């Protein structure tokens, strides 16, 4: 299984970015996919998740600004990020877990659970 993130960049506050995560080798009938982020000196936290039923869940910090979506035909996970602010500066990671739901996905950022990409950097300047 391989997950590769892309789309990270440096942007000004108020701007938008779309992150992509290309999945390969991941097949499951019941699964969840998610985006996590880790700011310097802080723990990795889950911010958005989607499961095979299309159910989504967001952390309060991004609710209303970020949108997670999946193109299952292309095996790509997206994160549309709007109204970015300096607090969104972090390394962003995508993850995939088998037999999981969107709600379960954000319960833990433990990298022992599921499959993870290497991350893509987002920097927001004010």
Which pLDDT score is estimated for 87?
97
Which pLDDT score is estimated for 83?
98
Residues recorded for the chain: 126
Which pLDDT score is estimated for 95?
98
Which pLDDT score is estimated for 116?
98
**Token pair for 58:** 């967001």
Distance (Å, whole) CA 57 – CA 67? 10
pLDDT digits (tens, 9 = 90+) for 17-27: 999 999 999 99
Element (H, E) at 79: strand 76-81
Using CA atoms in the order 3, 47, 68, 111, what is the torsion angle rounded to 10 degrees?
A: 20
pLDDT digits (tens, 9 = 90+) for 68-100: 999 988 999 999 999 999 999 999 999 999 999
Distance (Å, whole) CA 19 – CA 28? 23
Element (H, E) at 103: helix 102-105
Give me the phi and psi of 87, to 5 degrees please.
-70, -10
Nearest to 71 by CA among 23, 124, 103, 2: 23
pLDDT digits (tens, 9 = 90+) for 103-126: 999 999 999 999 999 999 999 998
Rounded to an integer, the average pLDDT of 25-52 is: 96
Q: How many Å separate Cα 105 from the centre of its chain? A: 11
Give the β-pairing of 10-12 and 120-125. Answer: parallel
């Amino acid at each position: 299984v391989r997950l590769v993130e892309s789309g990270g960049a440096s942007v000004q506050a108020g701007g938008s970015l779309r992150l992509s995560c290309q999945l390969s080798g991941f097949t499951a009938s019941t699964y969840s996919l998610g985006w996590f982020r880790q700011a310097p000196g802080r723990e990795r936290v889950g911010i958005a998740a989607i499961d095979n039923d299309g159910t989504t869940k967001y952390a309060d910090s991004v609710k209303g600004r970020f949108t997670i979506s999946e193109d299952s035909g292309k095996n790509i996970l997206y994160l549309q990020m709007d109204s970015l602010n300096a607090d969104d500066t972090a390394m962003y990671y995508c993850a995939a877990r088998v037999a999981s739901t969107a709600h379960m996905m954000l319960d833990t950022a433990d990298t022992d659970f599921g499959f993870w990409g290497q991350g893509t950097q987002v920097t927001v300047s004010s």
